[in-house]
Structure 1
Amino acid sequence: MSQYKPENPATEEEEPDTLLMQLRRKEGSWLDWAQACQTLLQRQKMTPQVIFEATGFEPIHQNQIVVGSQVYEGMAKAGASPAVLEYFGRKGSDILYELRILSPKDRVQVAELILNRNLNADDAHEIARAVKNYAQLRERPEGFGDHPGDAVAYQAWKTAQQTSDLQERTRAIGRAFQYVHSDGARQQIERLLSTVAASSSGGSQRKILPKLSVFRLEEDLPRLLPVVGSLPLSTAAWEQQITPEPEGPYHLIHSQGQQTWVALPAWSVIQSARDPVAIPIENRLLGTLLNQQIPPEEAQDPVLLVVDRAVRQWQSEGFFLIDRAGSLEVEWREDSGSVSLFGRVLMAVRPPRILDEVVAQDPWQLDE
């Protein structure tokens, strides 16, 4: 809580009705109102809404003047001049509220700049942001000092360097000249102005780096599966297939010969498979496996079976690849018996359904 005491401080002995009347009639300065709000909020435990209903001071205004009074108090302790304290003691709570993000020393310097230039709360907001960002720089830019005017000038100077639009660069340089304080910073801005002048007169233009979008991959990357041929497939060809080994954070795979690959989404069943491969099959075979009738419009659709070659132990709830006279077939059985297993079928993948291929080529039609 602020320790600042205005001329007529609100004390905890004062009745809440007296303080509410003071706020309702707006008696005294805004610092007196702030002290009254603090007392009602912190000592009398009133809510901002109750104070608003009794006085007309909106909660957002209550917060503004209370925070502003704390900034004012901090500036007084940090050695602000009598002129600054006298000016902001009469008005400017909205301006001091914008300075809350700064250190006490920076608040004093920025308040002096605002007073000298007769700036408003919007200007204070921009200056405070510039000063805060400037203070976080690891190294002070060449030629720029520690005055808040140089902080604003640096931000504008940097903006002018990073834009290729001539009007925007000109406006940024004008803002830099408006606030610059030190001679070294002024020289840096004058050099940049010379570059802009040369560009506008047809001279050699300064190179502006293009923007580059940077994205971070999510954890669930698509998985790249080798396509090992279509059924019927010989058992010997199946056994000769090499297991791919993804490398690094991007799951790079070095292709062997004329190997065909297919990328499938990061479904959990695929991500948990140890050695998944894809096998194209006819849709009628899928219907036979599931004992289902395939709709005529889907009869010609290609289907991919995803098989985990690492699973060769029989499980009654799964389909498996088995060897039949040197050729692989998909089968479900209640027990493994004496057959050799060459992988469990994890899923069947159908192609995406496109209702109208012509319309799909014109995204704007779909948007409508």
Structure 2
Amino acid sequence: MSLQFMRCVVPSKQVGYQKDDSAGFGESVGDRIARYYWQLARQQRDLAQRSRLIAQGLRFVGSASGRQALEKLLTDFTVVPAVNQPRLPLYRLDTAEEVPYLVPVAGTAPLTATAFQQVPRLSCTEVFRVVAVPQGMSLVALPAWQVLLNAVDPVAILWPAADLPAELPPSPEGLPIPQVLLIVDRGLAEWNRDRYLY
């Protein structure tokens, strides 16, 4: 691979998607590379470095207007400050509960045992909890409470509040709660008579 080719590849990658025809440069590959060197030369205070960049641009430029723009820099020593790229917005979750925990929904009670067992089990990756969801599956996003993280195979069921063994207090607005979301861990084979959660 020639040195000339190596020098050409770097700027061509950086200007390959630019369509800015400012300063008279065309859309040909040569003019785009020349415009790249023209931009670098305008930002350079060192005259020797500036002249070297102009010469590089003149080697690739194809249009007369682009050549004039490069040659103008030989007499115009105005330095244009470099424009920094915008910073990438990065967000960090401070607690595990801020990452939603997806639970498959079996449906509304009453359900048959067959319908309950036919709900596919979800699996997720450790990083960001990416979940592959079978087509047609209903999901509910819940906070990543520790009880959910400890569950082996949780499944959600929409359950009438009137069918619960204990009466629920009213909502903060004072309204009755007609329905609750019941989470059942299919991975627990033994029943604990003293508690619902593990």
Q: Structure 2 length as normaliser, TM-score?
A: 0.52
- Structure holding more helix per residue: 1
Whole-angstrom CA distance in 2 between matches of 1:214 and 1:266? 21
Q: 1:274 to 1:318 in 2, by over 3 A?
A: same
Contact 1:227–1:279 (Cα < 8 Å) also in 2: yes
1:194 to 74, 79, 93: 79
* 1:212 to 1:299, Cα distance in 2 relative to 1, 3 A: same
Q: Which runs of 4+ in 1 moved over 3 A?
A: 190-193, 216-219, 293-298
1:158-187 deviation per Cα after TM superposition (whole angstroms, max 9, x unaligned): xxxxxxxxxxxxxxxxxxxxxxxxxxx951
Could you say if the C-alpha distance between residues 263 and 298 of structure 1 is closer, same or farther in structure 2, counting changes exceeding 3 Å?
same
Partners of 1:293 and 1:256 in 2: CA distance: 34
1:210 aligns with 2:86: yes
**Code of the aligned partner of 2:80:** T
CA contact (8 A) 2:101 2:144 kept: yes
Show structure 2 runs of 5+ residues with no match.
Answer: 1-43, 51-76
Within 1, Cα distance between the matches of 2:104 and 2:179?
Answer: 16
Matches for 1:58-77 after TM superposition, within 5 Å: none
Distance 1:234-1:217 versus aligned 2 partners, 3 A rule: same
In the aligned structure 1, how far is the partner of 2:92 from the partner of 2:168? Answer: 44
Alpha carbons 1:284, 1:299 under 8 Å: kept: no
Structure number with greater Rg is 1
Residue of 85, 103, 108 corresponding to 1:225: 103
Query: For the aligned residues, what is the CA RMSD?
Result: 3.1
State the SS of the aligned residue for 1:284: helix
Q: Does the C-alpha gap of structure 1 residues 284 and 260 become closer, same or farther in structure 2, counting only changes over 3 Å?
A: same
Give per-residue Cα distances to partners, 1:11-43, cap 9 Å, x unaligned: xxxxxxxxxxxxxxxxxxxxxxxxxxxxxxxxx
The partner residue of 1:258 within 126, 136, 156 is 136
Separation in 1 of the partners of 2:105 and 2:78? 61
How far apart are residue 230 of structure 1 and its match? 1.3
State the match for 2:191 in structure 1.
Answer: 314
Q: Bigger relative contact order, structure 1 or 2, given CA contacts below 8 A and separation 6+?
A: 2
SS of the equivalent of 1:253 reads coil
Q: Distance in 1 between matches of 2:137 and 2:168?
A: 33
Amino acid at match of 1:214: L
Q: Alpha-carbon deviation of 1:219?
A: 6.5
CA 1:211–1:240 in structure 2 vs 1: closer, same or farther (change >3 Å)? same
C-alpha spacing 1:293/1:272, structure 2 compared with 1 (3 Å): closer
Aligned counterparts of 2:148 and 2:108: Cα–Cα separation in 1: 19
The one of 292, 303, 307 aligned to 2:180: 303
Unaligned residue ranges in structure 1 (runs of 5+):
1-184, 197-205, 320-345, 348-368
Q: Percent identity?
A: 31
Tell me: CA distance 1:259–1:212, structure 2 relative to 1, closer, same or farther (3 Å).
same
Partners of 2:107 and 2:195 lie apart in 1 by 21
1:315-334 alignment to 2 at 5 Å?
A: 315-319=192-196
For 2:30, the equivalent position in structure 1 comes to none
Aligned residue pair count: 124
Shift of 1:298: 3.2
Displacement of 1:227 after TM fit? 1.1
Query: What is the distance in 2 between the residues matched to 1:244 and 1:308?
Result: 12
After TM superposition, list the pairs within 5 Å mapping 1:135-150 onto structure 2.
none
TM-score, structure 1 as length reference: 0.30
Aligned partner of residue 195 in structure 1, secondary structure: coil
Superposed displacement of residue 231, structure 1: 0.7
